[in-house]
Amino acid sequence: MNELGPEDPSTVPGSPDRLYILTGGQARAGKKTELDLVTLIVSRTETDPGLQPEHAAIVRMCDYPLSVAEISAYLELPVSTLTLLLTELLTRNQVEARPPVPAAALPDVQLLEAVMNGLQRL
């Protein structure tokens, strides 16, 4: 509530009304997507004036790859809602999803021991 009276529930972050409006009432994505918290999202196009504000914000912020978790935090949206928005953008080819960069492989212990033994002999 503010000084002028009750706030419009559709503008309160995290409000069920706002989330319903953002997703058009969808409970889950129409087509199966393999998005998880570490999937990287990157823009494929510039923002389109016809996009709803949240879609435009995603396209703008993903000039460089961001994880689904990061986008969720920046936009203050639950991951479930964000996944629906991302699925729409993926369907329109405005963003692309990339698997996370794999962690560097652990070094071969036997190789390290061989190098260390060789250096000790010098």
Q: How far is CA 7 from CA 13, 17, 19, 79, in A?
A: 11, 12, 16, 24
The whole model's pTM is what? Answer: 0.62
Give 64-115 pLDDT, tens digit per residue.
999 999 999 999 888 888 898 999 899 999 999 998 877 666 677 888 888 9
Per-domain residue ranges of the chain: 9-121
d(CA 5, CA 45): 40
